[in-house]
């Protein structure tokens, strides 16, 4: 029961070492390798997700800045268009006003001229009529040129009074 045997001890040691080497390679080695591989994979995935999120955040800020920029630009374009439209409208109105004024002025001039002409013609006719009437009334054939001057002077006096 308690007899020691060097050979059995030696064989036992060899057995233990053989099993140890086997287990180290095939059990612990393989299991630890696969677990490390998995840990690495998970870590890689986490890192990747983190960098992707960072990238997305960056793109988002960029996009937001672009949108804000575009808004500002649009605002500017609209306001400048409005300003130029207003300016143009003002100019058109001014021009129209000027034109209208000039048309009115010519019309007035024409009216005045016509009026003068008609007055003049009426004056001469009236003078003729007056002479004819006067000659009839006087019944004498007056020197027509002299009489005419007379009437003209009278009429001119009358017209001047008016």
Partner 1 sequence: MGEELMQSLENKTVFTIPLFGGIPIHESIITMWIIMAILMAVVLLLTRNLKIIPSKGQALLEFGVTWVQDFLEGNTGKAGKRYFSYLGTVLIFLAFSNFIGMFGFGLKPPTKDINVTVAFALLSIILIEVSTFRGQGGLKGFFKSFAKPMPIMLPINIMELAIRPLSLCMRLFGNVLGAFVVMKLIEHVCGLIIPMVFSMYFDVFDGLIQAYVFVFLTSLFMSEGLETEHQAEQAEPA
Binding of partner 1 by 38 (CB under 8 A): yes
**CA 65/CA 138 separation, integer angstroms:** 107
Residues within window 60-119 making contact with partner 1, judged by CB under 8 A: none
Which residues does 127 contact at the CB level (< 8 Å), separation at least 6?
A: 148, 151, 152, 155
Residues within window 8-37 making contact with partner 1, judged by CB under 8 A: 8-13, 15-20, 22-24, 26-32, 34-35, 37
Whether residue 120 contacts residue 141, with contact meaning beta carbons closer than 8 Å, is answered with no
**CA 69/CA 10 separation, integer angstroms:** 84
Binding of partner 1 by 46 (CB under 8 A): no
CB of 46 to partner 1, least distance (A): 15
Which residues of the shown chain bind partner 1 in the complex (CB under 8 A)?
1-5, 7-13, 15-20, 22-24, 26-32, 34-35, 37-38, 41
């Amino acid at each position: 029961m308690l007899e020691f045997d060097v050979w059995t001890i030696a064989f036992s040691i060899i057995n233990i070492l053989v099993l140890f080497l086997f287990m180290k390679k095939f059990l612990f080695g393989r299991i630890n390798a696969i677990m490390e591989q998995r840990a690495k994979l998970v870590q890689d995935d986490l890192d990747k997700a983190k960098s992707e999120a960072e990238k997305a955040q960056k793109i988002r800020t960029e996009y937001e800045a672009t949108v804000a920029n575009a808004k500002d630009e649009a605002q500017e374009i609209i306001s400048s268009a409005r300003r130029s439209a207003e300016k143009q409208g003002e100019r058109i109105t001014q021009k129209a006003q000027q034109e209208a004024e000039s048309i009115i002025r010519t019309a007035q001039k024409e009216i005045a001229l016509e009026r003068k002409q008609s007055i003049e013609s009426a004056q001469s006719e009236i003078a003729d009529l007056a002479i004819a009437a006067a000659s009839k009334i006087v019944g004498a054939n007056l020197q027509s040129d002299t009489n005419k001057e007379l009437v003209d002077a009278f009429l001119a006096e009358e017209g001047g009074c008016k």
